[in-house]
Amino acid sequence: MNWKKEIWLLISGFGIMFAVLSWLQEASIMSNDLGWEKGLYALISGFLLFLVFRKSL
């Protein structure tokens, strides 16, 4: 697979999960006191999202 596409999918996974976590904070489902941890959670969950969907895209 093209390495540019791999990088794009990884960055996209991070962005999607960061947006989902931000929405969860706005909906008061998650704590607003996460700080840098939200980025770490988005990175980990975005990488998992990347692993699940990279073969199908």
CB 47 within 8 Å of CB 13: yes
Give the pLDDT band of residue 1 (cuts 50, 70, 90). Answer: low
Rounded percentage of the chain residues whose pLDDT exceeds 70: 96
Give the pLDDT band of residue 19 (cuts 50, 70, 90). Answer: very high
| pTM confidence score | 0.85
Counted domains in the chain: 1
Kindly calculate the radius of gyration of the chain based on its CA atoms and give it in whole angstroms.
13
User: Nearest Cα to 47, choosing from 20, 13, 19?
Assistant: 13
Domain holding 10, by residue range, is: 3-53
User: Nearest Cα to 48, choosing from 21, 8, 13, 5?
Assistant: 13
